[in-house]
Amino acid sequence: MSSKDDSHYDYVPSVPAAVITVLAFIILLIVHVFRIFKTRTWFCTPFVVGTILEIIGYLARAYGKKKPTSTPAYIIQALFILLAPILFAASIYMFLSRMIRATGQTSFSIIKPRKLTRIFVGGDILCFIVQAIGGAILAGSDTKSASNLGKAVILAGLVLQIFIFGFFLVVAVVWHSRMKREKMDLDWERYIWMLYIVSAIISVRNLFRVIEYAMGKDGYLLANEWPMYVFDALLMVVVLALCSSWYVGDIGDGSACMREEGGGLVPTDVELGRTNGRAGTR
C-alpha cells in the first residue's frame, strides 16, 4: 500500500518495471516506424499510435511513484494502457484483409476483404469508444455506484472485443482451411500462423482484463502490480515484436500476390496459390 491514504494505487508503483517497459516499447516503436516507411505499409500506423499510448501510459505509472495522489497521471495510465491493444488489433484485422486480397483467393473468405476491414475495424472502434467511456466514468467517479458503472462499461467493451476477436479468428481459419483443402502451395503460411499467435496473445490479455475488472478493486489482480506487467505489458511487447516481422509492401488492388523480399511481403505477378503447378482460381 502507498503510505498515503488517498493514493490511487493499492501498492507503490514500481519505477524500474515502468522504465524497462517504456524502453522496450520505445525500441519497438522505432522498429515499427522504420518498417512502415520502408515498406510504405500505412495500414500498420495503428501499431505506432498504440505503442505511443503504451509509452505515455507507463511513464504516467512511473510518475505515480512520486505523485500517487495525482488524478491526471492515474487517469492517463489507466486509459492509455487499457486502450492501446485495441489499436494493435486494428492493424491485425487489416493485415488479414490484405493477405486475402494479395493471394488472389478472395472467394475462399466468408467475408469479402473490403467488408472484412470495415466490419472488424468498425467493431474495434466501437470497443475503443465503449472502453474509453467506461474508463472516463471510472476515473471521474466519486461514489461506489459510479465506480461500479464505469467497471461494468469497461467489462462490456472487453467482452465485446473478445467476441469480435473470436469471430475474426473463425474467418481466418475458414479461409486458411479452404486454401489447404484445395492443395494450394502456401508459401506465405507462416504469416497466417503468426496472425493466429498474436490474436491469441491479445485475447489472453483481454481475458486477463475481464477477470481483473470482474474481481473488482478488492480483488488480487487490481490490488497487486505484477499481474499487469506479466499479462498486459509483456504480452503486448511480444505482440509488437512478432508483428514487426510480417510487414507487407504496397499490395495494391488485390490482383497482386505476395513474395518475400527484405524480410517482408511484397506483390508479385506470380500467384502464390497454386494447384498442381498451375495458378489457383480466384
Mind listing the pLDDT tens digit for each residue in 129-159?
A: 999 999 888 877 778 888 889 889 999 999 9
- Determine the structural domain holding residue 97 and report its residue range: 15-248
Residue 27 has pLDDT above 50, yes or no: yes
| Residue owning grid cell 479452404 | 178
Q: What is the pLDDT of residue 129?
A: 95
* Cell digits of residue 69: 495522489
* Side chain identity, residue 59: L
Name, in order, each residue with C-beta under 8 angstroms of 98's C-beta and a sequence gap of 6 or more: 43, 113, 248, 251
Q: Identify the band that residue 262 occupies on the pLDDT scale cut at 50, 70 and 90.
A: very low
Residue 147 lies in a domain: yes
CATH for 31: 1.20.1070.10
* Cell digits of residue 219: 480483488
Average pLDDT for the chain: 83
Is 205 exposed, middle or buried (CB count within 10 Å of its CB: 0-12, 13-18, 19+)? buried
Q: Which of 42-46, 181-185, 219-223 shows the lowest per-residue confidence on average (mean pLDDT)? A: 181-185
| Under 8 Å between Cβ of 273 and 257 | yes
Instruction: In whole angstroms, give the CA distance from residue 198 to residue 98.
Output: 17
Residue 31 lies in a domain: yes
* Cell digits of residue 116: 472484412
The whole model's pTM is what? 0.83
* Cell digits of residue 5: 491514504
Name, in order, each residue with C-beta under 8 angstroms of 34's C-beta and a sequence gap of 6 or more: none
Residue 263 has pLDDT above 60, yes or no: no
Closest CA to 206 of 241, 240, 148, 156: 156
Q: Per 3-state DSSP, what percentage of the chain is helix, strand, and coil (rounded to 5)?
A: 70, 5, 25
Q: Identify the band that residue 259 occupies on the pLDDT scale cut at 50, 70 and 90.
A: very low
Q: What is the pLDDT of residue 248?
A: 56
Closest CA to 44 of 82, 99, 83: 99
Instruction: In whole angstroms, give the CA distance from residue 239 to residue 44.
Output: 13
pLDDT tens digits for range 73-124: 988 999 999 999 999 999 999 989 888 888 788 888 999 888 998 999 999 9
Residue 51 lies in a domain: yes
Element (H, E) at 180: helix 144-181
| Under 8 Å between Cβ of 238 and 201 | yes
Structural domain tally of the chain? 1
Residue 185 has pLDDT above 90, yes or no: no
Q: What is the pLDDT of residue 147?
A: 84
For 4, the 3-state DSSP assignment is: coil
Closest CA to 78 of 244, 270, 245, 213: 213
Residue 178 has pLDDT above 70, yes or no: yes
The DSSP 8-state label assigned to residue 248 in this structure reads: B
Question: Which residues, listed in sequence order, are joined to residue 274 by a DSSP beta bridge?
Answer: 279
Residue 88 lies in a domain: yes
Residue 114 lies in a domain: yes
Instruction: In whole angstroms, give the CA distance from residue 227 to residue 14.
Output: 13
